[in-house]
Amino acid sequence: MKTVIIGGGGFVGQHLSARLLARDGNLSELVLVDQIDLPPASDKRVTAVNGSFADPALLEAHVKGADTVYLLAAILGGAAEANYALARRINIDASLNLIEFLRDNNPKTRLVFASTIAVYSKPMPDVVTDQTPLGPTMVYGAQKVMLETAISNFARSGWVVGLCLRLWVVMVRDGAD
């Protein structure tokens, strides 16, 4: 089984990869994609790829044939507010291109998308349910809602096997906004 983690060098990506390597006996290849230099892997199943998932050649070389893809990479909160064009390029355009790439190459690929609680309106209730209203107040949250909608539509159409997870507080890299 081939698994790809886009954003594999981040906090969630590092912990996810360690857990997959420790627990998944069927994992034959784990590809970590990130724009930062990843440390050399101690496990022969791991391939570290330095690059952007916005690059079609990277998708062709490293994502094609994946059984599962985790999309963790994004331009987050304050950085998305400060640079809308960059946030759109990564959070919307590159992400949609990835989903379409999976649809065109293997609609059985499982896509796990890391969304955010920034999709909810404020004030948020103490308990969040499926009925909690959406109403993002930032570019980042709005872009995550757009991707959730696209993934849901693609899944309903049978073009991908999609799963969206709304994560609470996540630590980002040192020095990141």
Catalytic residue among 70, 84, 120, 140: 140
Tokens of 59: 């998708």
Q: Kindly list the distances between the CA atom of residue 52 and the CA atoms of 7, 153, 157, in Å, as whole numbers in the listed order.
A: 9, 25, 27
Question: Do residues 75 and 173 make contact, with C-beta atoms less than 8 angstroms apart?
Answer: no
How far apart CA 165 and CA 163 sit, in angstroms, is: 7
How far apart CA 116 and CA 151 sit, in angstroms, is: 15
Handedness of CA 136, 140, 142, 145 (dihedral sign): negative
Is 120 a catalytic site residue? no
116 exposure class (CB count in 10 Å sphere: 0-12, 13-18, 19+): buried
Residues annotated as part of the active site: 140
